[in-house]
Structure 1
Amino acid sequence: MGGVSPTGNGKSTLANVISGTNKFKESADSVSETRRIEVAEFEENITQDGSEKIRYRVIDTVGIGDTRLTPRAVLGTIQEAEEYLEKGLSQILFITNGRFTEEEKIAYKLLRQVIFDNEVVRYTTIIRTNFPEFDNEDACERDRRALKNENGELLDIINSARIIYVDNPPINTNNTRRNVVNKETREDSREILLTLLGTCRGNYRPENLAQMNERIKNYKTEKEKLEAELKEKDKAMKEQGEKLQGQIDNLNKEQDRKMKEISDNCDKKIKEAQDRADQQIRDAQNQGNLSEKLLEMIEKNRADAEERAREDKKIIEDRAKADMKEKEDGLRREMALQKEIDGLKRKEIEDKQKNT
């Protein structure tokens, strides 16, 4: 049989009570003392004369909620029990000391989706520890109903698994009388647990054990998933921003190219007007009829042609600038909208992280 639960729910104490030993290190606080897989074997008489015995093996796992270990490290430690899993388990004891917490829900998710498979429910017993009224069936039944009403997410296991109530108070306090009373309470709890084990039938050997290493390797916590999602979102935001900025930069380059082209065209027209004026002056000189009045007319035509070229340049430049500005403004609006949308998505992911 194996025991799993978040840190501080009394797995090691329960293992000692079932085995009738002190092989498992108990802890009174929420910090798990179990850092590796621990195993103890013991025998129990199944006949009064002791002629028939049954041999049990108890496996105590590391606390799934141990804050000193990452979830993947916890899974890696549980993975050490693979040799025992290959032989099969008669029962898995899922230990809780009250209402199911988020840690316990995560523990069950790991148990069912990563470590074992959906069949684990059939071989799971919920052990409700630290329940002083464990010998009062009415109190136990009230608590069973409360567990079902308050834990919709775990109804499948609560409805399918047995719920057993025990109380395992410490027996190493400074009060000798209390230790004696607590030891008697633990003996009563042990009788309940041994009776449970006596009714367990079958041998649970997960069919997907061969893939367990791969599942553990690929496992990610909700926090890790959110961090990966946030990282991917930041990467996409950066890429989108760089893409839009690249389009704006290309527009600016295109505008510079067009402005140069317009300026070069204007300079070409001005030069052509100057060349025509010079040619007209040379022709008139060769013909001997270059009068002052003709020179003035030629210069005026040249000046008018230059002015038209400059006016055309300004009109074309203004039109090109307006067109480029409209395109750039559109890209900047798209960039701002995308940034706002990405900001909202990022905040949503960050809010999920805070609640994880």
Structure 2
Amino acid sequence: MPDSVGELGEFGLIGAVTARLPQGPDVLLGPGDDSAVVAAPDGRVVVTTDLLVENRHFRRDWSAAADVGHKAAAQNLSDIEAMGARPTSLVVGLGVPADLPVSWAVELSAGLGEEAALVGASVVGGDVVRSPLVVVSVTALGTLAGAAPVLRSGARAGDVVALCGRLGWAEAGYQVLSRGFRTPRAVVEAHRRPAVPYGAGAEAAGLGATAMCDVSDGLLGDLGHVATASGVLIDVSPSLLVVAEPLREVASALGADPLAWVLTGGDDNALVATFPADVELPERWTVIGSVSAGSGVTVGGAEYDQPAGHDHFAGS
């Protein structure tokens, strides 16, 4: 096999990539035709898309190709989870330089497939083009299996706010890597590959979640979307948030505030949801705040005076 993507060619690359992507039971027709065919048993399809650009969302000297694949898939799968749905399939658009090693593209594909397999989903197709940088665009499909979607607009005064997953880890890893270090390994790996709490979205829907959101741009920023859509005030209690020891260690070494990473750090892809106060939540869901009449998001009853999360165009 040729070493570079340019030598292999578009269709040779597609063949090399798709040969390593097994298809699951939701796929009626996989890669090979002009389109794939995916089952939609209840007549509805949940769809989301996300884009990763080299040197903006990942760096090849920081992350292996498989890591980038895992991350690209996870970010989309978590959005499907946030609707209370089950992911079924992914479609991938890939832009790559002609001199990119074929092995890198194949490892990227393997990462995508491995992450999708964690929820029984499949990579069913896509496209490849020549690009000066690596660009990965993923569209994810999912099924609600007859249930209603959980929207951002359903939170009501009197609800509690609960979190499933971890926060601040990816930001801690980014801070470490940006200073030229590779340890602590736990936070570096968290930056490279999100740990999505798969299954928690449908679980929350079954428990009666009134609103839900994937935390990809920072807890406060994403809760701001819920507060705006629902027309409520959301207050986060700092004392209820977990600041893990690895975050404390890194923050201490860097002279930073680890709580700020938990409140505003992105790319962990946890789920945050609102529930009626009388719902008994499973152990992996932790109450972190409350919903009341009003607008916006506060921390401990006060406005947060720092940026609340990531904005792709801030400072541009």
**Which TM-score band (shorter chain)?**
under 0.3
Q: Greater share of strand residues, 1 or 2?
A: 2
**Higher Cα Rg, which structure:** 1
Q: Greater share of helix residues, 1 or 2?
A: 1
Q: TM-score, normalised to structure 2's length?
A: 0.23
Q: TM-score, normalised to structure 1's length?
A: 0.21
